[in-house]
Amino acid sequence: MFNRRVRTLLLGSLVCTLVACTATEPAPPQRQPPSSPSIAPGAAGIGDKYYPNDGNGGYDVTGYDVSVSYDPATGRLEGDTTVTARATQQLQQFNLDLRGFTVTSVDIDGARAEFSRQGDAELVITAPRALAKDSTFSARVHYNGEPVSVTSAQLGTNGWQRSSTGGAFALGEPQSAAFWYPVNEHPRDKATFRLTARVPEGWNAVSIGRLENTTTANGWTTTTWTEPNPVASYLTTVAIDRFTIERGRLADGTPVVNAFAPGTDAVRGDARRLGEIIDFLAGKFGEYPASTAGGIYLGENIGYSLETQGRPTYTRSADLETIVHELAHQWYGNSVSVESWADICLNECLASYSQWLWAEGKQRDNLDARYQRAIDQLHDNAGFWAPRLYDMGTGNEFEGVYNKGILAIHALRRQIGEADFNRVLREWPARHRDGNASWPDFERFVTDISGQNLRGFFDAWFRGTERPADEYLYPGSLGR
């Protein structure tokens, strides 16, 4: 995520203008079916204290096969999604996350299942028979309606958004997938993803993953995208517009798709530096971990860009710095995803610091001098130092990670030294590739590599709410 609200002397970013979308009410609740009293239902949340209703328990998703048909003229979506999962307990009743829509049927392994709706986002399913622990099952959901969104999200609008051209796109963090398909919506449950999107002829539907096929018949175009790597659900997307599509390959053969909506001519030059940026970041972080590359360039100023897997989605105001940031997320945030939303600095602090690495490597910027200027100007700015970078509290995840987070990572670099810092940058994403990790895991990892006692440093920078003491503010070559 690159938040355009943040403008500091550190990033030189533009102030964003957030877009407001109006949410519609979810479908009325249906009858709650009974489940066997001897079998505990899957939990209604995955266990993240920040968002206790996000995700679900009782199963682990292995793959999503999503099929949607969307007509921009009516704004209605018809969906047919199959969720393949492994039961982690004996299971008969479990939940999927789905916001809005009318659900018309649910099948479990081909047999009709009972279902109901609870709250704003819970689809409660009762299988026709108990599912054994460790068994694999499929849940197929048919649904339809006009997709919804919420405007109360930290960074802007989450969910399904209409574009000024008449098209639409699904985007948001920490939630976005449940606004267009049933899902176990938490980064902890990563799965493969396949999308088949049907739109009227003349429109394009672009998503993450590899382009499998495109056909046009009877006035409709159907496109299938397949992502073979495990992906956190908020990193999936579909964008529907009259895109100009440019295709190519990286030097290693990785397929590239850039999709430019009307009004995005200004960013095309920066977008074509994709291979150069990935090569640079791979030199810092190790082998590029995504199955595809490219970008979805929206013609809308929505206030943020998002690191949708392998093919980030960019706001109209995106620039070269934004592209560097979102591509860095392919290592930090996408391949290695957070265990909890309290760990978001693992994503944003490191991706933000990639912008400094780019400035150092490509523009010969003196980062120590940049750091010292920032500290001098922000020395007594209590508001700048107040946000915690770890366990910052629900609703505060994106408050300090884009600016204070950069200074913290640069100070860490000087604290542990260049050789150990370079090891951290490469070995961390390699160790946790396609998995999840927490910020405390990262602290232990850095401590082990450096051989230093870093408790005071991490507490001052990442848990503290005041300017760090000078011993942590000016380590190594930053010393005065």
Between 368 and 23, whose confidence is greater?
A: 368
On whether both 371 and 462 belong to a single domain, the answer is: yes
Tokens representing 124?
């409660």
- In this prediction, residues 396-408 reach a mean pLDDT of 97
Domain range enclosing 219: 2-328
H helices of 137-201, where?
none
On whether both 344 and 434 belong to a single domain, the answer is: yes
Amino acid at 464: G
CATH number at residue 428: 1.10.390.10
**Digit-coded pLDDT (tens) for 284-311:** 999 999 999 999 999 999 999 999 999 9
Q: What is the pLDDT of residue 333?
A: 98
CATH number at residue 67: 2.60.40.1730
- In this prediction, residues 470-478 reach a mean pLDDT of 95
pLDDT of 429 over the 50 cut: yes
On whether both 224 and 352 belong to a single domain, the answer is: no
On whether both 324 and 379 belong to a single domain, the answer is: no
**Digit-coded pLDDT (tens) for 56-103:** 999 999 999 999 999 999 999 999 999 999 999 999 999 999 999 999
pLDDT band at 24 (very low <50, low <70, confident <90, very high): very low
Dihedral over alpha carbons 273, 275, 281, 284 (to 10 degrees): -130
User: In whole angstroms, what is the distance from residue 25 CA to residue 21 CA?
Assistant: 13
**Pick from 418, 415, 401: nearest CA to 353:** 401
- Please say whether the beta carbons of 433 and 286 come within 8 A: no
Biggest alpha carbon–alpha carbon distance for the chain: 72
- Positive or negative, the Cα torsion across 353, 354, 355, 357? positive
Amino acid at 328: A
Q: Are strands 255-260 and 244-249 parallel, antiparallel or unpaired?
A: antiparallel
On whether both 318 and 394 belong to a single domain, the answer is: no
Q: What is the pLDDT of residue 155?
A: 77
Question: Cβ neighbours of residue 166 under 8 Å, at least 6 residues apart?
Answer: 72, 73
User: In whole angstroms, what is the distance from residue 292 CA to residue 81 CA?
Assistant: 23
Radius of gyration from C-alpha coordinates of the chain = 23
Cα angle 98, 186, 395 (rounded to 5 degrees) comes to 95
Establish how many alpha carbons lie within 13 A of residue 112's alpha carbon, considering only the half-sphere containing its beta carbon. Answer: 2
Amino acid at 249: R
User: In whole angstroms, what is the distance from residue 78 CA to residue 85 CA?
Assistant: 23
**Pick from 150, 236, 152, 154: nearest CA to 192:** 236
Backbone angles phi, psi at 217, to 5 degrees: -155, 140
Q: What is the pLDDT of residue 30?
A: 45
pLDDT of 32 over the 50 cut: no
On whether both 272 and 365 belong to a single domain, the answer is: no
Tokens representing 3?
């938040």
On whether both 324 and 301 belong to a single domain, the answer is: yes
- In this prediction, residues 459-479 reach a mean pLDDT of 96
* pTM of the complete model: 0.91
- Positive or negative, the Cα torsion across 371, 373, 375, 377? negative
Of 328, 353, 375, the residue at which a domain comes to its end is 328
On whether both 303 and 433 belong to a single domain, the answer is: no
| Bridge partners, residue 313, by sequence | 296, 306
- In this prediction, residues 458-463 reach a mean pLDDT of 98
On whether both 27 and 51 belong to a single domain, the answer is: yes
On whether both 87 and 161 belong to a single domain, the answer is: yes
On whether both 203 and 118 belong to a single domain, the answer is: yes
Q: What is the pLDDT of residue 37?
A: 55
User: In whole angstroms, what is the distance from residue 12 CA to residue 24 CA?
Assistant: 37
On whether both 365 and 343 belong to a single domain, the answer is: yes
Q: C-alpha distances in angstroms, 99 versus 81, 118, 145, 185?
A: 14, 10, 11, 11
Q: What is the pLDDT of residue 480?
A: 62
**Digit-coded pLDDT (tens) for 311-370:** 999 999 999 999 999 999 999 999 999 999 999 999 999 999 999 999 999 999 999 999
Q: What is the pLDDT of residue 337?
A: 98
What DSSP line would sit under 330-380, residue for residue? TTBTTTEEESSGGGTHHHHHHHHHHHHHHHHHHH---HHHHHHHHHHHHTT
How many domains does the chain fold into?
A: 2
**Digit-coded pLDDT (tens) for 139-182:** 999 999 999 998 867 777 899 999 999 999 999 999 999 999 99
Q: What is the pLDDT of residue 36?
A: 55
- In this prediction, residues 456-473 reach a mean pLDDT of 97
pLDDT band at 3 (very low <50, low <70, confident <90, very high): low
pLDDT band at 28 (very low <50, low <70, confident <90, very high): very low
**Digit-coded pLDDT (tens) for 200-221:** 999 999 999 999 999 999 999 9
- In this prediction, residues 222-244 reach a mean pLDDT of 98
- Please say whether the beta carbons of 390 and 400 come within 8 A: no
**Pick from 252, 273, 366, 267: nearest CA to 324:** 273
**Digit-coded pLDDT (tens) for 120-139:** 999 999 999 999 999 999 99
Of 299, 328, 357, the residue at which a domain comes to its end is 328
**Digit-coded pLDDT (tens) for 8-22:** 334 333 223 223 333
- Is residue 448 classed as helix, strand or coil in its secondary structure? helix
Q: What is the pLDDT of residue 156?
A: 79
- Please say whether the beta carbons of 198 and 220 come within 8 A: yes
Q: What is the pLDDT of residue 122?
A: 97
Of 328, 346, 366, the residue at which a domain comes to its end is 328
pLDDT band at 27 (very low <50, low <70, confident <90, very high): very low
